[in-house]
Structure 1
Amino acid sequence: MSYITEFKDIPLESYLRLRKESGLGAKTEEAGRIGLKNSICSVLVSDPESGRAHIGMGRIIGDGGCHCQVTDICVLPEHQGKGLGKAIMEKLMEFINNELPASCYISLIADGDASFLYEKFGFRDTMPESKGMYYKR
């Protein structure tokens, strides 16, 4: 299979479907519309040979100068294990290294074993210097 990984805006329908089908959890249309509009960088993976054009994605969100976060990294289950998560991260790191100020704090939340992928790109556990936290209503 020949996959295409590129900087590209993520259509709302693809975003909602990829999140749900890859196991990241569903988002409402309203949340997706607002969130996508505020993306700093978006990467889409397409499979021209399949009936589903968009099979993976990743985004960078934040203020674009002081603080940014890598988020929404996902690949549909039937395409996992083919290096696509790595390809998405390579594109996002290209943007980080070429477009964001060197002092920008880049963070992410790693689910499960995904931390092993992110460590390959220089991401490290924040403990004991700081502790990641979240609020969910």
Structure 2
Amino acid sequence: MARQTRPLAEHYGDLVRVSLMEARPAGLQTRQLVSATRLTKSQVARGVRHLRDVGAAEHLTPIIWRRRDGYMFSEDPADWIEYEKKQFQQILSRLTRMITGRSTRTWPATPTTSGPSSPPPSSLASARRWPSSPGSPTSNSLTSP
């Protein structure tokens, strides 16, 4: 079941679709879409989401994005498969990092504030845990050790 569309999202999607059809077979970067449609960056993103939702629901030519070409309609199924594989890899990487606890951000080598009250970065990770339940002995784990 497709999401219920809003009139503005549909309007933004139409403007983005017309701009991409005029640029076909080449694609348009986000800033070019902003310039061509006279919409804001967030409105262009909303229009692209609408095009993806409608295209998937009605089995239309999907809109893909490449770093080199930007947003585009491609008739080649190999492009669709490549795009979907990259999207899948991105989601899989996010889930893997979330499950394993790894993130792309790391603690600085030295603490930014000095003094006896600031624990070293290695103990910060162990001090910040969610309480397990209101009455459990570990429910007070957010306080400093």
Higher relative contact order (CA 8 A, sep 6+): 1
Instruction: Give the TM-score category using the shorter length.
Output: under 0.3
1 or 2, which has the higher helix percentage? 2
TM-score (norm: length of structure 2): 0.23
What TM-score do you get using the length of structure 1 for normalisation?
A: 0.24
